[in-house]
Amino acid sequence: MNHVPNPADFPLRGERVHLRPLTGADATATYVDWLNDPETTRYLESGRRVETIDSIREYIGKYENRLDALFLAIVMNDGDVHVGNIKLDRIDWTHRHATLGIMIGAAEARGKGIGGEAIVLTLRHAFHTMKLHRVDLGVTQDNLPGIKCYKKIGFVEEGRLRESTLREHGFIDVVWMSVLSHEFDARYPGISN
In a domain, 135, yes or no: yes
Residue 98 has pLDDT above 90, yes or no: yes
In a domain, 17, yes or no: yes
Helix, strand or coil for residue 173?
A: strand
In a domain, 103, yes or no: yes
User: Using the 8-state DSSP alphabet, how is residue 137 labeled?
Assistant: E
Closest alpha carbon to 135 in 190, 171, 184, 81: 184
In a domain, 111, yes or no: yes
Domain limits for position 97:
7-187
- Give me the DSSP letters along 88-115: EEEEETTTTEEEEEEEE--GGGTTTTHH
* Helix locations, the chain, DSSP H: 29-35, 53-61, 114-124, 144-153, 181-187
In a domain, 193, yes or no: no
Q: Give me the mean pLDDT over the 70-99 stretch.
A: 96
Residue 1 has pLDDT above 60, yes or no: no
Radius of gyration of the chain (CA): 16
Q: How far is CA 122 from CA 9, 41, 47, 107, 170, in A?
A: 12, 21, 24, 21, 33
In a domain, 62, yes or no: yes
Domains of the chain: total: 1
User: Using the 8-state DSSP alphabet, how is residue 127 labeled?
Assistant: I
Total length of the chain: 193
Write out pLDDT tens, residues 133-191. Answer: 999 999 999 999 999 999 999 999 999 999 998 888 899 999 999 999 999 999 987 65
pLDDT for the residue numbered 193: 40
> For position 126, which CATH number holds?
3.40.630.30
What type of residue sits at position 70?
L
In a domain, 1, yes or no: no
In a domain, 2, yes or no: no
In sequence order, the 6+-apart residues with CB closer than 8 A to the CB of 177 are: 136, 137, 138, 139, 147, 150, 151, 155, 156, 157, 158
Per the rule left: phi > 0, alpha: psi between -120 and 50, beta: everything else, 9 is alpha
Residue 46 has pLDDT above 90, yes or no: no
Decide: 103 and 84 in contact? Cβ < 8 Å.
yes
